Structures are given as C-alpha cells and as structure tokens.
C-alpha cells in the first residue's frame, strides 16, 4: 500500500495514512482470529489431553484468559490506529474534490461520475459515508467493542457480573459486523489489467492526456475482496452454543453452601475439572463455571455453590421450593456444558503436590482428594503421587463442615493403609467471633479439633508461607513439586513469588511449579 504501483493514485489522495489504515486492519484481522482461541474451552481441553502437551507448555494453557486480555488490548490499539487513519482518509478524500487540491487529485476524484467508469474516490459528502457498508458496520463494531471492553473491567465483573456476561455477548454483533465491514471495498487500487495499459509512472505526469492518448487510457479501479479468514472464524465460535442437557438433580444444603448432585448419563470427567451450568428457570442466557467436587469413580457428579449473588440466590430459592413441592423438579433442571480441563488436573503428574485453597476455592481439591481416596482403596491402582500437602484458609468456621467429612474419611483410610504420611493437611481459620474464641479455648485440650472434628488441630490466623515453603523444600531437596492454588488474585501473587524464591537455581535441586486455577 505504501509502494505498489496499483495504489499510487490512491496514495496521491490519501498519503501515508493509506498504509496505516491497511496495516492496522491486517493486524486487527489476525488479533480477532487469536482472541477466539484461548476462550475455546473444547480446544483447550483437547490440547490438555494430547501427549505432546506436558510440563511448562501445559502450564501456559492456564494463562489462557491472560492471553485473551492481551489480544483484546492489541485489538484496541489497532482499532484506534485504524479509526484515526480512516478519519484522516475521509477528510483527504473530501479535500481532493476541492479546487485547492490540484489538477490530478480533481481528475482522480472525478472518475466514476460518468456511466461505466470505476470510481477511486468513494466520498461525495460526509453524510453519505455513514450510509455505506463500511460506515455503518464500522460504527456498529466500534460501539460493540467499546461496550465489551469497558464491561470487562474487574470492578464490573465482580460487582455486576450479569452486566459483564450479557454485554460480552455483543461479540456476535462484533464478528458479524467485522465479516461484512470489508464488503464495501472503499479502499481501491488500479486493476492489474489497467496497469498493463495505463503506465502510472508516465501517465501521472500527463493526466491531461487521459482518454486522448493511447498511452494513457482512463485507469480502472477495484477494491480487495474481504478476508476469507473471518468467515471461517464465525463458525469456530459457534461451539459455546452447543450444550448438553442434563436430567434430574438432588439438592442438599450444608453450611451456607448449595450442593448439587447430577446423574452422569455418559458424562466422563477427570479430577479437578470444571463445568458450566445453566438453569433455564433462572436465566436462559447465563452460564456459570463451577468446579466438580465429585471423583470420577463416583456414580454421580456434583458441584458445591456458595450462595453469593442473584443467580445463586435464585437457584437456592428454587431448591427451597423443591423440598416442599416435588412437582417443581422440572423447573430446576440444569443444562451442563463440559467438563473442561483445569490446572488442578495435573496434581497426579508430580511425586509431591502442594494444594492451597482459600474459601470456596477448596472445591477443586475436593475432587482431587476423593479420587486419591478411591485410588488408595483400589490395590490395582498405581499412583505416581507420593506426598500431598493440603492448605485451606477460610474466614467462616461453618464452611469447614461440608469438607471435614471428606478429610476425616481420607485420614482414616491413610492410617489403615499404612500411609498416614501421605497427606499433610493444614487448616487455617482467619476469622471468628468472641463467643467462638471462648468455646475454642475451653476445648483446646481435647484430642479432636473442636471445629473440624479431625485429629489435626485447626490453626488460627494466616499461614507464614515463607516457613511453609522453606520446610517443604527441606523435606524434598531434589524434587519437582507442583503447587496448585484456587483463590483470590492477591494471594496468588504471593504464592507465585514464593515458588520462584524457593526454587533452586540448580536444575537438580528443588523446583516449585506454580499452577493457578482460572476459568
């Protein structure tokens, strides 16, 4: 666009902004292709299952949302360049029709007014520009992208998730508009056949002889076909709408956490995976991710949902009605999409694994620990995993109740199998009331923990991660240790720094490999 003879006459009117507009458009097409890939859950899960995806390469898949955001910023930058360049182009197209522009620009702008002539300048007035395909779709995709980008900020996602969810579905408008955008072919260049007859090097200086001389016939112009890549990508993104419907469910409550049990019906899963749930009676469009808390060996699959927000609140209300009226079972049907791979599925690929959870972030480790329990019960199963360190920090003492039973069964099983050293778990209570503190102090001498009922006593306050990592590194001086975390971003940054700090510079020494749960 900057040097080709086919665009020489276009450059005479537009200057270097022609190349800026087209280069940014090419980058936009490429980035719009990339932005679909990291959020294609089926694709990510497929890559996880392949034998070539191991170690550090597999951990990069856990950063898919980060990559998705980086590509979105790339689209924003290129969109700004593209829009500004075209605003300048529109102005220069308009100026080239005036008497001040000069003879050649006036001549070029006049081509196309007569019948059977191909135009080069698409601008007749500013208002007409907004009636073109490029003008309408350009405004449409710009507005859609601005709404998608601004509603994706962390504040909106956390405080007004429904706004984020529904606005993000404007991607349909964005991609349809993007496919149509180039069909107007407003940026035009000289056709190859015309270049053979009309030598631009000579004719640009003899424009007064056009149509009069055989050397300079009137040039013919055409636009480029839209990029085919975008048409193909439209079908790639249809997969989120292909959902699998699930049957009846059993609902139980425990300590402010909603537990859903669903029939498998051909449902195949791995420990630590997650699913997306939709409840049609709550919303026809909203799909929410939840980690599976059941083990693959169980006859059902389950999720634990902390009631926080409109969607989970209504779901809990439906469950309460269901307990009093069994006829409401139909309305509480759930649609399930998944399961999809997650970082915690790699727990079994290390000899030593450190599992760290905060609050409801314990859910993926419920599936992992249950699966460990089943595997230990089966004498024919060989485990690569030799040691598990489990840490759980939580503010509310009642939240421990639903998970304590699992730890209790696992604790007994390990003692019976002579593997009491296999699991080291550390539970930290970070919030309590004065009455609870008094009760805890009175029962401190008992063998079983007053909160969880486990042999391992609950710690009060936050863990000292330097002490914990230093001790683990000392226990396994030449091991590759997988660290798996599910919880808030602030704690994630702390743990990632500790993994880097306590990993040995010598590759033969202890190495901590950090994996964060994200969806």
Q: Which pLDDT tens digit goes with each residue over 374-407?
A: 777 777 777 788 888 989 888 766 666 667 777 7
Looking at residue 447, its pLDDT comes to 60
Choices 2.40.100.10, 3.30.420.10, 2.40.50.1020, 2.40.30.10: CATH for 243-340: 2.40.30.10
Q: C-alpha distances in angstroms, 279 versus 23, 265, 284, 306, 316?
A: 45, 18, 7, 16, 11
Listed range (29-38, 52-61, 153-162, 223-232) with the worst mean pLDDT: 223-232
Count CB atoms within 10 A of the CB of residue 201.
Answer: 8
168 is written with which tokens? 């993000």
With H, G, I as helix, E, B as strand and everything else as coil, classify residue 13.
helix
Q: CA nearest 274: which of 249, 303, 247?
A: 303
Q: Are 431 and 396 within 8 A, CB to CB?
A: yes
CA–CA separation, 419 vs 247, rounded Å?
39
**Interacting residues of 169 by C-beta distance below 8 A, sequence separation 6+:** 285
Looking at residue 243, its pLDDT comes to 47
Quickly tell me which residue has 């022609």 as its tokens.
18
pLDDT band at 488 (very low <50, low <70, confident <90, very high): confident
CA–CA separation, 156 vs 442, rounded Å?
45
Give just the sign of the alpha carbon dihedral 254, 257, 261, 264.
negative
Spell out the domain ranges in the chain: 5-240, 243-340, 343-516
Burial (CB < 10 A; 0-12, 13-18, 19+), residue 231, is exposed
CA–CA separation, 485 vs 357, rounded Å?
6
pLDDT band at 436 (very low <50, low <70, confident <90, very high): low
Domain 343-516, what fold?
Rossmann fold (3.40.50)
- Which value, to the nearest 10 degrees, does the dihedral of the CA atoms of residues 289, 292, 296, 297 take? -150
Looking at residue 460, its pLDDT comes to 77
Residues pairing with 300 in the sheet: 263
CA–CA separation, 515 vs 517, rounded Å?
7
Looking at residue 101, its pLDDT comes to 67
CA–CA separation, 188 vs 488, rounded Å?
52
Listed range (139-148, 240-249, 318-327) with the worst mean pLDDT: 240-249
pLDDT band at 142 (very low <50, low <70, confident <90, very high): very high
CA–CA separation, 199 vs 212, rounded Å?
15
Quickly tell me which residue has 């007014």 as its tokens.
113
How many CA atoms lie less than 13 Å away from 230 in the CB half-sphere?
22
Measured CA angle at 185 (ends 181, 190), to 5 deg: 155
Count CB atoms within 10 A of the CB of residue 265.
Answer: 11
CA–CA separation, 270 vs 345, rounded Å?
7
Q: Are strands 387-394 and 423-429 parallel, antiparallel or unpaired?
A: parallel
408 has pLDDT over 80: no
226 is written with which tokens? 């839209």
Residues pairing with 512 in the sheet: 481
Q: CA nearest 425: which of 479, 491, 348, 372?
A: 372
* DSSP structure class, residue 119: -
Quickly tell me which residue has 């040691």 as its tokens.
387
Quickly tell me which residue has 């290129």 as its tokens.
78
Q: Are strands 352-358 and 387-394 parallel, antiparallel or unpaired?
A: parallel
């Amino acid at each position: 666009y900057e040097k080709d003879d086919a665009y020489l006459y276009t450059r005479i009117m537009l200057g270097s902004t022609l190349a800026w507009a087209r280069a940014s458009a090419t980058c936009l097409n490429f980035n719009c292709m990339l932005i679909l890939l990291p959020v294609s859950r089926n694709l990510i899960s497929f890559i996880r299952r392949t034998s070539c995806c191991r170690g550090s390469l597999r951990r990069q898949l856990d950063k898919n949302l980060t990559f998705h955001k980086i590509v979105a910023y790339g689209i924003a930058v290129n969109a700004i360049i593209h829009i500004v360049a075209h605003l300048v182009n529109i102005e220069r197209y308009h100026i080239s029709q005036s008497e001040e522009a000069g003879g050649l620009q006036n001549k070029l702008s006049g081509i196309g007014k007569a019948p059977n002539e191909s135009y080069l300048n698409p601008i007749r007035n500013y208002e007409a520009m907004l009636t073109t395909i490029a003008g309408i779709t350009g405004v449409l995709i710009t507005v859609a992208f601005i709404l998608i980008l601004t509603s994706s900020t962390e504040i909106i996602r956390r405080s007004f998730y429904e706004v984020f969810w529904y606005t993000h579905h404007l991607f349909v408008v964005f991609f349809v508009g993007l496919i149509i955008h180039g069909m107007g072919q407003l940026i035009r260049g000289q056709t190859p056949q015309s270049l053979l007859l009309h030598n631009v090097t000579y004719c640009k200086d003899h424009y007064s002889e056009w149509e009069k001389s055989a050397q300079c016939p009137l040039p013919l112009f055409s636009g480029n076909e839209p990029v085919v890549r975008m048409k193909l990508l439209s079908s790639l993104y249809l997969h989120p709408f292909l959902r699998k419907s699930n049957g009846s469910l059993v609902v139980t409550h425990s300590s402010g956490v909603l537990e859903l049990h669903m029939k498998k019906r051909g449902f195949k899963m791995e420990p630590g995976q997650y699913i997306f749930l939709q409840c049609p009676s709550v919303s026809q469009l909203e799909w929410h991710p939840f980690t599976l808390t059941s083990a693959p060996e169980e006859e059902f699959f389950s999720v634990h949902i902390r009631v926080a927000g409109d969607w989970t609140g209504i779901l809990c209300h439906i469950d309460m009605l269901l307990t009093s009226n069994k006829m409401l079972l139909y309305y509480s049907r759930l649609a399930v999409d998944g399961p999809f791979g997650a970082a915690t599925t790699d727990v079994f690929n290390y000899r030593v694994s450190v599992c760290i959870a905060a609050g409801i972030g314990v859910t993926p480790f419920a599936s992992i620990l249950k699966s460990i329990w089943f595997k230990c019960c089966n004498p024919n199963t060989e485990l690569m995993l030799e040691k598990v360190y489990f840490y759980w920090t939580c503010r509310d003492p009642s939240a421990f109740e639903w998970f304590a039973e699992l730890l209790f069964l696992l604790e007994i099983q390990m003692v019976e199998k002579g593997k009491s050293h296999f699991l080291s778990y550390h539970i930290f209570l970070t919030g309590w009331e004065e009455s609870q503190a008094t009760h805890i102090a009175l029962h401190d001498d008992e063998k079983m923990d007053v909160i969880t009922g486990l042999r391992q006593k609950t710690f009060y306050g936050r863990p000292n991660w330097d002490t914990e990592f230093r001790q683990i590194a000392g226990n396994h001086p030449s091991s590759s240790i997988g660290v798996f975390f599910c919880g808030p971003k602030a704690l994630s940054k702390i743990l990632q720094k500790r993994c880097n700090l306590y990993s040995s510079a010598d590759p033969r020494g202890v190495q901590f490999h950090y994996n964060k749960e994200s969806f």
